[in-house]
């Protein structure tokens, strides 16, 4: 798929329906128009980066400086640099909340969560639990994303951010990180269950209705109902009761907002426009992560 330099668009998922393809093309044209409008409004010494989640554009005021820690990259030789957080090898020496904070999300290696595979590239993915494009991508290609880590080809870091203005986004994001810190062996299963549940809610009335509504007439807009559903999801995959009880219906997240600003600052050094889902390989943003046929561009994601 042709893309303008410096901008990211999610590759379209292969569909047997021409109507779906046409609808997606229309949506991306609208997104591109919104991105261009946001770009013209950028002023001052610090560039305001428009964060696009399909049809919803949220202007994020960049604050703070890049905290992506690249120490030791030269020693690795084979790559493994990151755009956000710390190197996988360093994260693997940590546990609990320290590991979550260092990764700015969930690290997946061949042997599981927060168990880095040495000497391989690092693939990072920024996503939002309420982003329609993210839910659609992972619903259709989630197993393929995880295969890079499970097959030992790369370490995968999943970075939750809040690019879609729904309470569900924040409640799910915070809950995901609480499970990652308190019961890391359930982190990946909970992440996948949240994706499946979010997709089921947003697209319950079909793809067309889901894209149009953006979850605005669902339980995703009610923090209490979002919390209730997310607790059910957690219980269903075996998350401990004491962790589930710590989930809160808070529609704001200091942690996710902090990570989002750091990501925006870091990504802004490579491109003026950022959005979810977004990928990086060895610390460099990937503009074309998905091929025309709907498969992942393995070579570029692995930094070949």
pLDDT per residue as tens digits for the range 103-144: 999 999 999 999 999 999 999 999 999 999 999 999 999 999
Angle at alpha carbon of residue 63, lines to 268 and 100, rounded to 5°: 85
**Distance, CA of 106 to CA of 176 (rounded, Å):** 9
Topology of domain 18-301, CATH: Glutaredoxin (3.40.30)
Looking from the CA of 279 toward its CB, the CA atoms found within 13 Å total 25
- pLDDT-derived band at 79 (thresholds 50, 70, 90) equals low
**Distance, CA of 221 to CA of 242 (rounded, Å):** 25
Asked if 21 and 12 count as a contact pair (C-beta separation under 8 A), the reply is yes
- pLDDT-derived band at 44 (thresholds 50, 70, 90) equals very low
Task: Kindly give, in sequence order, each residue whose CB lies less than 8 Å from that of residue 209, ignoring residues fewer than 6 positions away.
Answer: 203
Among the listed ranges 5-19, 234-248, 278-292, which one has the minimum average pLDDT value?
5-19
**Distance, CA of 138 to CA of 133 (rounded, Å):** 9
Among the listed ranges 13-17, 49-53, 106-110, 204-208, which one has the minimum average pLDDT value?
49-53
Asked if 263 and 163 count as a contact pair (C-beta separation under 8 A), the reply is no
Q: For position 21, what pLDDT does the model report?
A: 47
Q: Which two tokens mark 84?
A: 């956000």
Tell me the CA distances in angstroms from 137 to 5, 26, 199, 276, one per residue in order.
22, 17, 10, 10
Asked if 259 and 64 count as a contact pair (C-beta separation under 8 A), the reply is no
Mean pLDDT of the chain: 80
Can you tell me whether residue 263 is helix, strand or coil? helix
**Distance, CA of 275 to CA of 37 (rounded, Å):** 15
């Amino acid at each position: 798929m042709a893309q303008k330099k410096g901008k990211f668009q999610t590759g379209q998922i292969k569909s047997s329906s021409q109507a779906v393809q046409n609808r997606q093309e229309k949506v991306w044209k609208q997104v591109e128009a919104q991105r261009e409008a946001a770009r013209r409004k950028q002023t001052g010494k610090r560039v305001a980066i428009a964060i696009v989640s399909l049809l919803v554009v949220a202007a994020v005021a960049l604050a703070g400086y890049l905290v992506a820690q690249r120490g030791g990259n030269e020693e690795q030789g084979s790559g493994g640099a990151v755009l956000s957080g710390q190197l996988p090898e360093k994260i693997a020496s940590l546990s609990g909340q320290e590991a979550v904070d260092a990764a700015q999300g969930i690290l997946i290696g061949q042997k599981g969560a927060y168990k880095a595979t040495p000497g391989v590239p690092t693939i990072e993915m920024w996503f939002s639990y309420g982003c329609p494009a993210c839910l659609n991508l992972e619903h259709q290609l989630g197993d393929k994303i995880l295969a890079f880590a499970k097959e030992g080809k790369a370490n995968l870091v999943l970075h939750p951010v809040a690019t879609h203005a729904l309470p569900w986004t924040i409640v799910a994001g915070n809950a995901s990180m609480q499970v990652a810190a308190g019961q890391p062996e359930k982190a990946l299963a909970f992440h996948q269950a949240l994706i499946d549940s979010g997709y089921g809610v947003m697209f319950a009335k079909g793809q067309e209705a889901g894209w149009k509504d953006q979850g605005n007439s669902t339980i995703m807009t009610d923090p209490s109902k979002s919390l209730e559903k997310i607790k059910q999801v957690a219980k269903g995959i075996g998350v401990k009761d004491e962790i589930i009880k710590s989930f809160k219906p808070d529609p704001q997240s200091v942690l996710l907002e902090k990570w989002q600003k750091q990501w925006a600052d870091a990504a802004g050094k490579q491109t003026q426009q950022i959005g979810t889902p977004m990928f990086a390989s060895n610390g460099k943003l990937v503009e074309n992560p998905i091929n025309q046929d709907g498969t992942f561009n393995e070579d570029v994601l692995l930094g070949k």
